[in-house]
Amino acid sequence: MRRPVVGVIGSAHLVENRFPAQRVGERNLLAVKDVVGALPLMFAGTPEITDIGALLDTVDGILLTGARANVHPTRFGVEAHVSYEPYDIPRDELALELVQACVERCVPILGLCRGFQEMSVAYGCSLHPEIRELPGRMNHRMPRLDNGEIHPDQDVVYGDRHDVHLVAGGTFAKIFGKEKIRVNSLHGQGILEPGKRVVIEGVADDSTVEAIRIEGAPGFALGVQWHAEYNPQTNAVNRALFEAFRDAIVARI
């Protein structure tokens, strides 16, 4: 059997605040290589460069990564506001169409953090710019020092922060072999109102949505709010998720 290829979406970035570029966090690439056993293929998160049809003719799966930018609020019927910034509008345009194309063509797709939000919005969800501002919610942002700077220890930044409660007998409960897991938390935006085809299968202690699947998808179409690309080589939860992604890819080849 040939080695599978997984497309990993890029995000807009300005090098030295002057040179437009596309970037992908290396942890995403290593997760695809080490756990999925696939060749990670970076592609630009902009329709100006990436043709979705040609991309899906080339890859065996798609990984939608996390990113600094949020999905633009006009994508779910809300006026633009500074609280939703920053944006990556070209990635929105590509990713939302790509999600639906993957589902229609039965191409396995896994969304992480922003990718989870892209999958949600593609199927009708609305988002809140700061989920921690809602009554009863915890701060889901990454850990910071007292002076406001990001914590210097990556193991603290990506450390497990809260439990996720999974639907009994659901897809995620089967993947993890349990109905409660513990995950990291590095996001501001979160699902506010779910779309009709977005099935919620995992929530945090404060009811923040953490795991979804797309109803009626003929293939693997899952998203998680946490950063599962962090250390799936040794983290049992994140490894199980990427292994399930791998199994879906291998079954399709």
Q: Residue ranges of the alpha helices (H) in 12-140?
A: 26-31, 52-58, 89-105, 114-122
Is there a catalytic annotation at residue 79? no
The pTM of the full predicted model, rounded to 2 decimals, is 0.93
Is there a catalytic annotation at residue 187? no
Residue 128 DSSP one-character state? E
How far is the CA of 86 from the CAs of 74, 113, 171, in angstroms?
13, 15, 33
CATH match of 5-252 with 3.40.50.880: yes
Is there a catalytic annotation at residue 130? no
For residue 109, list its beta bridge partners: 62, 221
- Single out the catalytic residue among 113, 118, 128, 140: 113
Tell whether the model's pLDDT for residue 99 goes beyond 80: yes
Pairing status of strand 109-112 against strand 19-23: unpaired
Which tokens hold the place of 135?
Answer: 């009554």
Mean pLDDT of the 189-203 span: 93
pLDDT, tens digit, 9 for 90 and up, residues 65-80 = 998 888 989 998 888 8
What residues have CB less than 8 Å from 7, skipping those under 6 apart? Answer: 41, 42, 43, 55, 58, 59, 61, 62, 63
- Single out the catalytic residue among 128, 140, 187, 227: 227
